[in-house]
């Protein structure tokens, strides 16, 4: 069971690292948007690349955050009945749902993302909507990579379900924002 826990925590850490790395795209997105607004309204000289940059970076951030969100248990779940169940029952339900719905969808994403991304890469595809021909093949390759990381994190989630079915307890998840919020609340508390 220790090897299983190590495996799950390794994948969780990988997903968190990838998610945090791509979160830095937000800074680039903000700077590019601010530059565009400044040029457009300050000098009446809008850029020809800002729109393409914004949708490509936003799409990248959104897609690469999927595995991170799954690793943190942050995806939306209709759990008004689920939360009242015993952990073993929850794990059995999750396991069935991963096999029936999650993996077929993610595998389709990986395979179609591969074909779509590789074709765009080979063509060095550019945006037809941009007057400067901004390359769009990198965002199309992101479909493949985000699908791969979701697939790997999904395997970790299945391992988490198996662990819960065997032991009756869920493996803990890492904490990011919650930990920061708790520490902030401790600092602001007046005793």
Q: What's the confidence (pLDDT) of residue 140?
A: 92
State residue 122's pLDDT score: 95
Give the pLDDT of residue 49.
84
Dihedral sign (CA 153, 156, 161, 167): negative
Q: What is the pLDDT of residue 180?
A: 52
181 phi, psi to nearest 5 deg: -65, -40
pLDDT at 186 (0 to 100): 54
Q: How far is CA 18 from the centre of its chain?
A: 8
Cα–Cα distance for residue pair 161/49, rounded to 1 Å: 45
Q: Which of the 8 DSSP states describes residue 80?
A: T
* Domain chopping of the chain, boundaries: 2-175
Q: How crowded is residue 78: how many other Cβ atoms within 10 Å of its Cβ?
A: 6
pLDDT at 176: 61
**Rounded Cα gap, residues 33 and 101, in angstroms:** 37
Query: Could you tell me which residues come within 8 angstroms of residue 10 by beta carbon, excluding any fewer than 6 positions away?
Result: none
Which has the closest alpha carbon to 95: 163, 18, 187, 19? 163
Strand partners, 95: none
> Cβ contacts of residue 163 below 8 Å, gap of 6+?
1, 4, 5, 8, 169, 170, 171
* Angstrom distance (rounded) from CA 8 to CA 107: 20
| Encoded tokens for 183 | 């520490």
pLDDT of residue 191: 42
| Predicted structure pTM score | 0.84
Give CA–CA dist 12/163, Å, rounded. Answer: 15
Query: Which tokens sit at 140?
Result: 């199309």
Q: What does each of the 191 residues of the chain score in pLDDT, given as a tens digit?
A: 788 899 999 999 999 999 999 999 999 999 999 999 999 999 999 988 888 889 889 999 999 999 999 999 888 877 788 888 999 999 999 999 999 999 999 999 999 999 999 999 999 999 887 778 888 899 999 999 999 999 999 999 999 999 999 999 999 887 665 555 555 555 544 44
């Amino acid at each position: 069971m220790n090897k299983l826990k190590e495996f799950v925590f390794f994948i969780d850490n990988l997903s968190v690292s990838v998610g945090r790395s791509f979160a830095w795209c937000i800074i680039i997105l903000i700077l590019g948007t601010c530059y565009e607004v400044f040029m457009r309204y300050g000098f009446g000289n809008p850029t020809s690349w800002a729109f393409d940059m914004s949708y490509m970076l936003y799409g990248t951030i959104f897609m690469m955050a999927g595995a991170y969100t799954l690793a943190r248990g942050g995806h939306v779940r209709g759990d008004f009945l689920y939360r009242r169940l015993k952990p073993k029952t929850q794990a059995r339900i999750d396991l069935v749902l991963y096999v029936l719905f999650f993996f077929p969808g993610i595998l389709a994403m990986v395979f179609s993302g591969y074909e779509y991304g590789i074709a765009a890469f080979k063509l060095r595809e550019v945006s037809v909507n941009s007057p400067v021909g901004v390359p769009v093949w990198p965002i199309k390759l992101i479909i493949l990579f985000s699908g791969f990381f979701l697939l790997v994190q999904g395997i970790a989630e299945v391992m988490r379900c198996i662990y819960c079915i065997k032991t009756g307890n869920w493996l803990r998840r890492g904490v990011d924002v919650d930990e920061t919020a708790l520490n902030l609340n401790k600092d602001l508390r007046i005793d």
